Structure 1
């Protein structure tokens, strides 16, 4: 079931965010640089703040016991490239054991319905340039590559693709 997140979900969102981020990006062990970033970024307090803002929208995929994934959409976001609206899919995370069974697809479709209802001409997102599985997923679902940007953690920069979905 896909539903709107509420404040009671903040700790679950933080736990899933931390789990998926570590699994996706840290293949050669965890050092203090990445641990400090992840532990400061994926917190219940931060998700609680996001859920209280009018311009932030988080949908969750609910299983029988709890949340298995989420998608975070932000309006008023400045795109790093031209010809994109201010509507961004900030994050789409699904626990690895629930991938390949349609959860990500259902979350993306729900996010795109939400975005389409805003009346904006398109929505954009960034994806790590090395995350081939995610890039393929988005391209298969109608996104197009429209530029490049950098994801910053402290003084370190990581190449990201900017992808856009145009509503027809």
Structure 2
């Protein structure tokens, strides 16, 4: 069921909602065999409200949110001046694209990246890149349907653990 999607710029007052959204989506996507202290500690550090507040305030970042009548149900975060881990990528990274699972399939997963791409384009950029977990086949297929192409590989690191990610890029 597709609905009208309100996309707006993230505000400092959204930090706790974005922290909760991030924890929900990250744990639901990547932690499938039970939540260990290792991953719980990482999620609480990475997605702490104060950390999200700092990211919202950072002028190198653009955070856009999708909102329904109750609250935030998705977000996209772009980072300008991001150094890509592989050649032939721009300096604009899509660092985060999260939509609550119960709101997937409602148009948010398309509206958020489209708004982010429009933002990057209007800032004079001609390409964006992102990293996606190599085991997240649904996300990889989604990005490929949105004209992203694999550009190389990198790793997401948590302490001494490394997880293979694909770097994908798209011309605007």
Q: TM-score, normalised by structure 1?
A: 0.98
Root-mean-square deviation (CA), in Å? 0.6
SS at match of 1:115: helix
Matched, 1:119 2:131: no
Question: Which ranges of 4 or more aligned residues in structure 1 deviate by more than 6 Å?
Answer: none
Q: 2:41 & 2:52 partners in 1: Cα distance?
A: 17
Counterpart mapping for 1:1-168 below 5 A: 1-167=6-172
Structure 2: gaps of 5 or more residues = 1-5
Provide Cα deviations, 1:75-133, integer angstroms capped at 9, x if missing partner. Answer: 01100001111100000000000001111110010011011112122100000000010
SS at match of 1:60: strand
Q: 1:92 & 1:64 partners in 2: Cα distance?
A: 20
Provide Cα deviations, 1:33-91, integer angstroms capped at 9, x if missing partner. Answer: 10110011111100110111110110000001100000000001100001111100000
How many pairs align?
167
Q: 1:113 & 1:52 partners in 2: Cα distance?
A: 20
Q: 1:132 & 1:125 partners in 2: Cα distance?
A: 15
Q: TM-score, normalised by structure 2?
A: 0.96
SS at match of 2:50: helix
Q: 1:35 & 1:52 partners in 2: Cα distance?
A: 25
Structure 1: gaps of 5 or more residues = none
Q: 2:98 & 2:57 partners in 1: Cα distance?
A: 20
